[in-house]
Structure 1
Amino acid sequence: MFLYQKNEYFVQIAHGMEELGEAELAELGATNLRRAYRGIAITADRATAYRICYRSRLCSRVLAPLLRASFTDEKDLHRIAVDLPWHQLFSKNRTFAVTFNVGNSVIRNGKYASLLIKDAICDRFRMETGSRPSVDTENPQVVINLFIDGPEAVLSADFSGEALHKRGYRSHGGGPAPMQETLAAAIIRHTGFDGTRPLWDPMCGSGTLVAEALMQAAEIPAGYLRSEFGFFSYSDFDAGAWKRVKAEADACIRPVVPGMILGSDLDARAVGFARKNLSRLPFAPVVQLRIADFRNMPDFRDGLIVANPPYGVRLGSDHEVRQLYTDFGDFLKLHCPGTTAWVYLGDRSRIGDLHLKPTRKIPLPSGDLDGRLLRLDMYEKLTQE
């Protein structure tokens, strides 16, 4: 029996999103949540694992552990892997690949360690069936993950397939430095947006924040546009449980009042990408998009603003960046009474350029960027100064 068949799973989630991720996982039915390196270990039945893959807006991958074991050297690791009944996990007609994360180990080369696992899988298949499955590193049907920390190795089956942040609405070549969907979803979750209070992104770019706002308010499952998940390819895939999970989630999809989600950007090309991306989602016409400079927009009252202003790697000179931030801070202060603004800064050194005092500063890294999500409350009295 594999470990996941005892309801053990591991959910990968970006650093900084653990608290939000724990809340979401509990909502989706996971129990016994334990934070670990690069994610959260959970207890979940098969339907809950499918539900997380389909509905989680914050998680990157769902791994189904197969084996956890200590090893002494490369031969020992190969032996441990050969002992697993891989032929019971997936068919030899499926393609597969091995991913890895190796640290503090006697095997220092992660790629070499993954090749040992690949060879072990093929060896066991030959022993049991007389032939072996093919390797496909570009688009494998089955992904096996190897995690090594010191003398311990964990082998897992990837239930996600492609990373879960790949919702399916984003166009290829969708503008410069688009925000990752899971980060955008975390920002929207922090706002508490539910479609009853207007939300505006005045620098929407290719529309990731407004797309995630629409998906959250309309309760569109994060995986709604995906046709494939990794768990489809395993021999114990429960088609009935998956059908029930999907039907249950899809039945919750609800319309959003037109005009409650707005996006604008001075870059016409970016707004074009935003329109194209949103067109793939249900209720896309309710989102109002405009080509406009926020400095020329009318007052925005009693709503929510979300923004990811351009920073060093996305814009020109330092002077241009500083002036943009100052102008945006002035706009919020003078033209957005009663509004709560949630502003994500990939470069936290730019916080002072807004000339506003945040109510909250939430660490929210993005790749190599030590970003901050700022909450800025614009009170009515500020417009009278």
Structure 2
Amino acid sequence: MGMGWFKNRKVMTKLLIGFMTVAVVMVVVGLVGLRSMGQIQGNFQDVHEQQLTPITHLAAVRGGMLRVRASVLQHVIAQDPAKMREFEAQIKQLDAKVDEEVATFEKARLTAEEKEALTRFKQAWGQFKEGRSGQTLLLSAAGKKADAMAAALGQVGQRFRDASDAVDQLFSTKVKAAGAAVEGGNQQYKATTQITFVILLAGVVLSIALGFFIARMIARPLGQAAEVLGAVAAGDFTRRLDVHSKDEVGVMAESLNSAVDGMRGALQEVGVAAQQVSSAAQELSGASNQLSSGAQEQASSLEETAASLEEITGTVKQNADNAKQANQLAVGSRDVAEKGGRVVAEAVQSMSEINKSSKKIADIITTIDEIAFQTNLLALNAAVEAARAGEQG
């Protein structure tokens, strides 16, 4: 179902999925980067709070111890009681400062080794303060400078060296811990960089692959559609789009296939109709040829009839002329007949009847002439129509 489900999504949905995938990759890269930077910041903050700051307190303790040691020796060397009291006041202030710095250092996160060194420091420093106050300063204040110096450099001095060694060990462990924390931060930075690079590279590859897949899913059917349209333009209506997705491209492919099928069916119907029209035209041409032949035959018959009518008309005209001549002779003979009296009355009456008959014959001839003229017109029209039918056929 997986790829089919994606193929059937709308183009906008596909693009949104692609962009959202890229966005998710970028968010993952950003979150990993932020988390790593937070861890690195936490590491450096831890180095600062748990390693570097305690080292500064140890440095203050070490400085206070040295100043206390110097004040004790100056007290032993001093001869003026006022100066000795001044050094005693300084020693008291320095003791308080050292105790304060030690208490602050003790609040830091300490390893077992550091706790053991701190315990040794407290023990040695306490013994140093007891010997310093109970022996060295008392002997110095009593004017026993040589005994005070011997005590300061002897057992009391050894307690100071023990406390100083403990502070040095704390320094060493804290510096090593700080170096290890910094190295851990560097390693974490490298690991974070590698992880971020791998995620970013995977995101880029995934984005490119998804973009190529979506572009191919859209562009391939469009290319096929262009080929099909080109084939249709060239007159090939057998091509079809092989796209089965349910997105806009698939709907377009189905519509295009339906349109091509409709055009192919319409052209087939047009071909059948053209064949029918061709057959009808052939039949019409045959009928026109037959009609033209019949018209030509009818025109020939009409021409023959017209010729016969013309001959009849000529004969009738000749008879009319003869009748007119007879009429003229009758008119000329009427005077003679009148002179001949009643003898020729019958002849005159006969001639009158002949004259009437001649007029009737003349009317008949006129009618025949009109019929002949109309017959000629009909023959001419028939010949013209026959010629037109022949040209159109």
Using structure 1 for the length normalisation, give the TM-score.
Answer: 0.17
Larger of the two Rg values belongs to structure? 2
Larger helix percent: 2
Report which of the two has the higher share of strand: 1
Return the structure number with greater relative CO, CA threshold 8 A, min gap 6: 2
